[in-house]
Amino acid sequence: MPRGRRANIGRRTIHASQQQVYSQNISEERQNIIRENARLRQRVSTRRSLASYNRLAFQYDPTANYSDDENLDIGPMTTICRYCNALKFK
């Protein structure tokens, strides 16, 4: 049975060479756009990972302003309980 293809670890591959040529030939403006998109992508993924709201009510921080958080939508208390007339979140 023939062996599988060996990894090109530590070798200069054709793909790596093509990527290097491409990176050297793109304009400065395009490089800035690519960098900015990478920064935004990283910022969004970091924000998602940091914003874990699972069981947050049990660790409530009164100093935190939850209404300004983009990832959290509490909504108004518009529903009325038919048994005790208490306001509830929808």
- Specify the pLDDT at position 86: 93
> Cα separation of 89 and 26, whole Å?
52
90 residues of the chain, pLDDT tens digit each: 677 777 766 677 888 888 888 888 888 899 999 999 999 988 877 665 555 677 777 777 788 777 777 777 778 889 999 999 999 887
Nearest to 72 by CA among 90, 88, 56: 56
Cβ pair 71, 44 in contact under 8 A:
no
pLDDT of residue 46: 67
Q: What residues pair up with 79 in beta bridges, in sequence order?
A: 88
- Distance between CA 65 and CA 76 in Å, rounded? 16
CA–CA gap between residue 9 and residue 18 (Å, rounded) = 17
